[in-house]
Amino acid sequence: MPRGPRHKGGIDTNRKGKFDPNDENQVKHTKIGKVWDLYQERQPELAKVPFSARLNLERYLGLYDSLPFVWRMLKDIGSIRACWLYLGLYLAVQLALSLIPAVELWYSGQLLKIVGIAVEQRTVDKNLLISVALSRVACSIAELFLQHSNRIISQPLNARIKQYYTVHMFNVLARLDVPTFDDPLVQRQLEQAFPTSSRQSVIWRTVAGVVNMGSTTVMLVSQLSVLLNVLRDQQDGPLIAFLSFSHSFFLTGSSNRSLFTRVWAATTHNADFIKLSGLRKAAADSAHRKEIVAGGMWEYMYSEYQRCIHALGEDATEFFDAYEMFNQDRFPSFASIIRRPLHQLPQIVFTLRAVQYPASIPISLASLNLITSTATSFSHTLSRLFEQTGSISDNFTTIRKMYEAINLANRIPDGTVPYPENHQSLKMGMSIEFRNVSFKYPDSNSYALRNVSFKIARGQLCVILGQNGSGKSTVLKLIARLYDPSEGQILVDGQDLKTLRLADLRRAMAILFQDYTHFPLSIRENIALGDPGHSDDIDRVTQAATLGGASEFIERLEDGYDTYLDRPVRDHYSGLPEGTMDLFGRAVSFGKIRGMGEMKSNESTTLSGGQMQRIALSRTFMRSLLSESSVGLLLFDEPSASLDPTAEHDLFGRLQLLRGQKTMIFSSHRFGNLTRNADMILYMHDSVIVEEGSHEDLLKARGEYARIWNLQAQAFL
């Protein structure tokens, strides 16, 4: 994601269509220095006309589609406790604030009138002068109080709205199934619906934006009407007012040049710059240090870095710096040139008029002052209004996206049949049957499984063997219904898997994935999540940890079960003296990685790979072996890959013992005790099952299984 204020000026990221840098009709290519290629969407003809660019009609048409969602948002906000009360107060304060400039203007007009009368008649109504002056001062003080109240009211309002939607958002994220969550379109939708960076929720920004737009309009209309009222009787008032305001309509010219108000993309093909960046990253990242040192690479890296820098000269800069330098060399735009004389025009006209009609000078001079000061604030208010309408239309679209995301349906439809009919039956295991199952992953064109058929009876121990990528894990994922087969049917206890209630089905099985992850939560929670229903039961957690072979090293940790493997909250600090090596009981990290806030899900600085696997195993035990009757099927994908031989031996012993009558399916690369004891072995090759049977059957068949078994046996002779 590019650095910099990507959304400044409000790019409509929700637009339909495609940005193709190679489309010369739509996209302008600019070479920035030697390194960067900038591609900018060409402005439509209409947008070149000053003023219309700000209206961006296409964008506002989209507002209409979003209205039903905005209505739903209002209803949702209404359901938040005390929100209407705060909202009412907020509206009242905003309205008062928007009227204040007009009231101030009116008093300024009154003061001018007094000056006018004083010049003409040489008399001053002192009482009137004092009361007008006091009221003018009172207005300023009232504005200060109102602004303060505005902040006081908007804070709890924003907080309540944010809290309400945060819970909604979490629910949306947490409930998505694998194919839906992995879909790039859904990812984009989620990213747009729940931008992670902004401090204020989009909902609050929209509410505040709409209210601000209303109050800005009230401000403009009230100021204009007061100004017209004051100037009505003055000879050149309307003409000078028109000239003063005209320059505010040319403000658009300068903003048109900003990169960030358009669709754009930048890239580089410069080999030297790419290499330079790679060298810089490699030298700064601790992950490469070992190899740099052991391989004696630094001299080569240094000389290459120097060579690239010399080849690039001044152009060895990041994109935004390069763009800034490039922009500074460009000539000012037509609109910004024309704005300057326009700014002076009222004074010139005023001088000409004054020369023509000297008698009217004093009044017009006062009016000119009033008009020009109002015009300056008016042009700012007007440009704010345009900006607000732009961001409102974007916010409305984001709200539509957000509600669409809330309503997002999972790709794996839920079944309706409760499972199992009889909970006691689960103790005897579950039967699994694949009938001509074929499957392709959603983002893949090739089959991960092809025409796979097999049947595992209740209570059997099945081992799936095969090379890397042959489809073993995929079989387990389909049984857990993480995906649905592209063709064929899977039966559980004789019933179509798709008809069974998903929650029931998943409760009835425990699965340990090969690419298991650790949650950025405490070890206790990491294990307890295996059986969320009993997460408070610390005895169960410790028992599960013992079965998983994890309890010993967990107890040795300083915080024991409360240890966080990856602390999800970063500490914040800056400017620490160099002697500060630890803070809040943790080592201070000065590495670059820290700044990125990245957390790796299955890596930990404190535990070994085997220890991590033991925690994952404990989670599976928490679910499967403790709550006796609720699980009937255990799926293990390479459960011993990171374990040492003793630990593996112990694990299989415990699994056999605790399995009871339940069905158990292993995916494995290893031939040994496990396969010898299996009721059924499925040998997979290239997405299909090539051999099927018990250890003895397969040895007799003299196929691939027998060949590898014999190879292994010879290796140990």
Shortest reach from residue 444's CB to ligand ATP, in Å? 4
Q: Round to whole Å and give the CA distance between 641 and 377.
A: 70
Instruction: Please say which residue, 346 or 471, places its beta carbon nearer to ligand ATP.
Output: 471
SS3 211: helix
Residue 203 or 465: the one with the smaller Cβ distance to ligand ATP is 465
Nearest distance in Å: CB 509, ligand ATP: 18
Distance in Å, CB of 492 to ligand ATP, minimum: 20
Residue whose CB is less far from ligand ATP, 449 or 502 = 449
Is the distance from CB of 119 to CB of 365 less than 8 angstroms?
A: no
The DSSP call for residue 318 is -
Instruction: Check: CB of residue 168 under 8 Å from CB of residue 143.
Output: no
Q: Closest separation between CB of residue 611 and ligand ATP, Å?
A: 21
* CA nearest neighbour of 252 among 449, 452, 463, 43: 43
Comparison of 38 and 476: residue with beta carbon closer to ligand ATP: 476
Site of interaction with ligand ATP (CB under 6 A): 441, 443-444, 448, 466, 468-474, 514, 667
State the minimum distance, in angstroms, from the CB of residue 92 to ligand ATP: 55
Give 476 or 550: the residue with its C-beta nearer to ligand ATP. Answer: 476
Minimum gap (Å) between residue 488 Cβ and ligand ATP: 16
Q: How far apart are CA 648 and CA 645, in angstroms?
A: 5
Q: Which amino acid is at 427?
A: K
Q: Which two tokens stand for residue 160?
A: 């309540």
Q: Residue 36 and residue 27: Cα distance in Å, rounded?
A: 16
> In terms of CB distance, is 252 or 470 closer to ligand ATP?
470
Contact 496, 489 (CB under 8 A): yes
| DSSP letter, residue 198 | -
Alpha-carbon distance of 427 to 659, in angstroms, equals: 10
Angle among Cα 362, 366, 369 to the nearest 5 degrees reads: 140
Q: How far is CA 268 from CA 274, 316, 322, in A?
A: 8, 11, 12
Task: Compute the least distance from the CB of residue 648 to ligand ATP, in Å.
Answer: 17
Other C-beta atoms within 10 Å of 226: how many?
A: 20
- Classified as helix, coil or strand, 583 is strand
Q: How far is the CB of 451 from ligand ATP (least distance, A)?
A: 15
Closer by beta carbon to ligand ATP, 260 or else 441: 441
Q: How far is the CB of 674 from ligand ATP (least distance, A)?
A: 15
* The two structure tokens encoding residue 562: 């409360």
Omega before 420 within 30 of 0, i.e. cis: yes
Backbone angles phi, psi at 2, to 5 degrees: -65, 150
Structure tokens at 383: 């440009």
**Minimum CB distance to ligand ATP smaller for 113 or for 670:** 670
Nearer to ligand ATP, 473 or 542 (CB): 473
Give the nearer residue to ligand ATP in terms of CB position, either 474 or 542.
Answer: 474
Least spacing, CB of residue 667 vs ligand ATP, in Å: 6
Q: How far is CA 706 from CA 400, 454, 691, 694, 701, in A?
A: 60, 20, 10, 11, 7
